[in-house]
């Protein structure tokens, strides 16, 4: 085998040299002020705006007071005070349960779970409480002001408990929304939408991109629509669907495929629940082929849902089986991370075999 490729370096190069995210973003017409921001700062800016624009909004979670272990909440406690931005005890079920109660009283509760890997103690509060709060009361009560932020995904050295992508668990829960941004511009606009959406939302932040992804982000308050996917690269031979950090890898594969004369259309789903089936359907009807890629294990991943739905809707138009390039069906392994991951070349291989089916 050749020398070990350093995936962080590779991604970093990709992001900076080709200004991938700038090209991704559907930047609105000339904004007065824009600044180069990384994803972490974009989240931070969104939180500043959320707290500033609504006095009934709160930001809390483990270590949030000093700025959070990823520094996403830096400066908030100083500016808005400890009553609105605070550390919680180390208890995820408590964080989400508290957030539900706060939201049910008409507030915007912006809860941070330190890592998506640690969201599971709060699973009951999310699945049985937040998701059913409106339905079970006949809409007398709701906790729509609740937004749960959690950094998710691989970083190169996170092992079992600092790497997971648990989005599919939450996509099985009617009553909550699941949103994942791909870039700083998207992160800010989508997070503000989530915070202001009248439904509880789980917002997974691709922590690999916190510092790596940099793009121009307007300083003002703006929102990006939920449940609307976006074609971030147009193509005619194959539709590719992804979200979050994986899109950067998929974009790279699209470029390499193009050199071989294969034209890929890349869609950022952005909101996984409820998701924009129509856009994916329209694209697959055009290309006749579909590839889905995510970091989470392939079995029972959200790719399975997309695949099933598209087969239902586009069966007669499909020219090849739907391809899934995903994480393996193992726990997330430290030393084997490069083997576990849905790499560019795995995607490229799948693109070729789908197109040549």
Partner 1 sequence: MAMSWNSRRVIGAVKRVTPQWKSIVARKQGDLLPTLRLFPFPFIGDGSDGVFPRRFQSTEAEKMLELSADRSLEFPGGKVTFVSSMNFLAEASAERVHCYRTLDESGQPLMSSKFLEVSEEVAVRMYTAMVTLSQMDSIFYEAQRQGRISFYVTSIGEEAINIASAAALTDDDLIVPQYREPGVLLWRGFSLQEFANQCFSNKADYGKGRQMPVHYGSNKLNYFTVASTIASQLPHAVGAAYSLKMDKRDACVVTYFGDGGSSEGDFHAALNFAAVMDAPVIFICRNNGWAISTPTSDQFRSDGVVVRGQAYGVRSIRVDGNDALAVYSAVQSAREMAISEQRPILIEALTYRAGHHTTSDDSTKYRPADEIQLWRTSGDPVTRFRKWIECNGWWNNAAENELRSNTRQQILNAIQVAEKVEKPPVADLFTDVYDVPPPNLQEQERLLRETILRHPADYPENVPF
Ligand X SMILES: Cc1ncc(C[n+]2csc(CCOP(=O)(O)OP(=O)(O)O)c2C)c(N)n1
Binders of partner 1 among 106-145, rule CB under 8 A?
117-118, 121
Which one of 48, 62, 92, 129 is the catalytic residue? 92
Applying CB under 6 A, what is the total number of residues that bind ligand X? 6
Could you count the other beta carbons within 10 Å of the beta carbon of residue 97? 18
Contact string 17-46 vs partner 1 (x = CB under 8 A)? ------------------------------
Q: Which two tokens stand for residue 73?
A: 């909440």
Task: Report if residue 114 touches ligand X, rule: CB under 6 A.
Answer: yes
Q: Does 160 bind ligand X (CB under 6 A)?
A: no
Q: Which does 189 bind (CB under 5 to 8 A by kind): partner 1, ligand X, none?
A: none
Q: Is 126 helix (H, G, I), strand (E, B) or coil?
A: helix
| Minimum CB distance to partner 1 smaller for 63 or for 219 | 63
Binding partner of residue 25 among ligand X, partner 1, none, CB cut-off 5 to 8 Å per kind: none
Q: Of 156-175, which residues contact partner 1 (CB under 8 A)?
A: 157-162
Which position among 162, 167, 215, 281 bears the catalytic label?
Answer: 162
What three-state secondary structure class fits 281?
helix
Asked if residue 86 binds ligand X (CB under 6 A), the reply is: no
Contact of 203 with 241, CB cutoff 8 Å: no
Using rule CB under 6 A, residue 121 touches ligand X:
yes
CA distance 241 to 221: 28
Minimum CB distance to partner 1, residue 86 (Å)? 8
Q: Which is nearer to partner 1, 24 or 58 (CB)?
A: 58
For 195-237, strand residue ranges (E) read 201-206, 214-218, 230-233
| Cα–Cα distance measured from residue 45 to residue 29, given in angstroms and rounded to the nearest whole number | 20
User: Residues 6 or more apart from 63 whose CB is under 8 A from it?
Assistant: 69, 87, 114
* Residue 273 CB partners (closer than 8 Å, separation 6+): 170, 171, 173, 176, 177, 178
Binding mask 272-301 for partner 1 (x = CB under 8 A): --------------------------xx--
**Residue number, 93 or 309, with CB nearest to partner 1:** 93
Active-site residue, 160 included: no
Binding mask 52-71 for ligand X (x = CB under 6 A): ----------x---------
Place of tokens 């079992």: 160
Annotation says 162 is catalytic? yes
Q: Which of 26, 66, 90, 234 binds ligand X (CB under 6 A)?
A: 90
Integer angstrom CA distances of residue 258 from 180, 261, 309: 27, 5, 27
Instruction: Tell me the CA distances in angstroms from 192 to 183, 269, 296, one per residue in order.
Output: 14, 17, 26
Residues that bind ligand X (CB under 6 A): 62, 90, 92, 114, 118, 121
Give the residue numbers marked as catalytic. Answer: 92, 162
């Amino acid at each position: 085998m050749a020398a070990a490729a350093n995936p962080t370096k590779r991604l970093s190069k990709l992001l900076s040299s080709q200004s991938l995210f700038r090209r991704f973003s559907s930047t609105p017409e000339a904004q007065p002020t824009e600044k180069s921001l990384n994803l972490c700062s974009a989240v931070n800016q969104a939180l500043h705006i959320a707290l500033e624009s609504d006095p009934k909004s709160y930001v809390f979670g483990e270590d949030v007071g000093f700025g959070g272990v990823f520094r996403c909440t830096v400066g908030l406690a100083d500016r808005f005070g400890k009553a609105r931005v605070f550390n919680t005890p180390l208890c995820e079920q408590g964080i989400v349960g508290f957030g539900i109660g706060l939201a049910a009283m008409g507030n915007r509760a912006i809860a941070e779970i330190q890592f998506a890997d640690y969201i599971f103690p709060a699973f009951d509060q999310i699945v049985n409480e937040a998701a059913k709060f409106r339905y079970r009361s006949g809409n007398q009560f709701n906790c729509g002001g609740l937004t749960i932020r959690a950094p998710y995904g691989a970083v190169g050295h996170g092992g079992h408990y600092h790497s997971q992508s648990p989005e599919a668990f939450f996509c099985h829960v009617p009553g909550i929304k699941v949103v994942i941004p791909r870039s700083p511009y998207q992160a800010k606009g989508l997070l503000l939408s989530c915070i202001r959406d009248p439904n509880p939302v789980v917002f997974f932040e691709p922590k690999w991109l916190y510092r790596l992804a940099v793009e121009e982000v307007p300083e003002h308050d703006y929102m990006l629509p939920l449940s609307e996917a976006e074609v971030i690269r147009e193509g005619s031979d194959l539709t590719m669907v992804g979200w979050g950090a994986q899109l950067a890898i998929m974009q790279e594969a699209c470029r390499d495929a193009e050199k071989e004369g294969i034209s890929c259309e890349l869609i950022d789903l952005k909101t996984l629940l409820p998701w924009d089936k129509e856009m994916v359907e329209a694209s697959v009807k055009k290309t006749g082929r579909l590839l889905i890629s995510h970091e989470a294990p392939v079995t029972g991943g959200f790719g399975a849902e997309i695949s099933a739905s598209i087969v239902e809707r586009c069966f007669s138009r499909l020219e090849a089986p739907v391809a899934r390039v995903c994480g393996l069906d193992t726990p997330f392994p430290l030393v084997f991370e490069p083997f576990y991951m849905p790499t560019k070349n795995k995607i490229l291989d799948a693109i070729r075999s789908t197109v040549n089916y």
